[in-house]
Amino acid sequence: MVDSDRMRELLHAEDSETRRLIAALSSDIKDLSAAREGDNSDDEHDPEGATLAFERSQADTLLRQSEERLSAIAQALQRLDDGSFGICTNCGKPIPEVRLEIRPYAPTCVACAS
Ligand SMILES: [Zn+2]
């Protein structure tokens, strides 16, 4: 039996953490874009330009993952409300509590996630 109060708590903590990360990443990306625009040198032959582009693409990836997590968290909270939380959305078996402790927003059991 899943402790839904505790799961709700974990999800809310994860939610604010993820929102903080998204805010930080968004401002990083803005800074990186500004740094690139202010750079008049030839991109192709400028190692700094390449580094900025690399950092920018890493930040973009992280941002996308964080946004996906945020929506997974919202869906998990929804499942807490409708009583389907802790049930694998793919095979319908219970998700082990140890998994939910680590990833309270996981929609599937380990077998279905892989
Ligand atoms: Zn499953």
Q: What is the pLDDT of residues 24-35, one digit of tens each?
A: 999 999 999 888
43 has pLDDT over 70 = no
In the CATH scheme, what is the code of domain 4-113? 1.20.120.910
Amino acid 42: pLDDT: 57
With CA atoms as reference, report the closest residue to 63 among 38, 28, 34: 28
Residue-wise pLDDT for 69-108, tens only, equals: 999 999 999 999 999 999 999 999 999 999 999 999 999 9
Output the DSSP codes for 52-72.
HHHHHHHHHHHHHHHHHHHHH
Cα–ligand 1 centroid distance for 114 (angstroms): 10
Ligand 1 (single-atom ion) residues, CB below 5 Å: 88, 90-91, 108-109, 112
Amino acid 106: pLDDT: 96
Distance CA 28, CA 49 (A): 16
44 has pLDDT over 70 = no
More confident residue, 50 or 30: 30
Residues in the chain: 114
Which amino acid would we find at residue 42? D
Amino acid 99: pLDDT: 94
Q: How confident is the model at residue 41 (pLDDT cuts 50, 70, 90)?
A: low
Q: Measured at the alpha carbon of residue 78, what is the angle toward residues 73 and 79, in degrees to the nearest 5?
A: 95
Cα–ligand 1 centroid distance for 39 (angstroms): 50
Which residue ranges make up each domain of the chain? 4-113
With CA atoms as reference, report the closest residue to 56 among 27, 89, 99, 85: 27
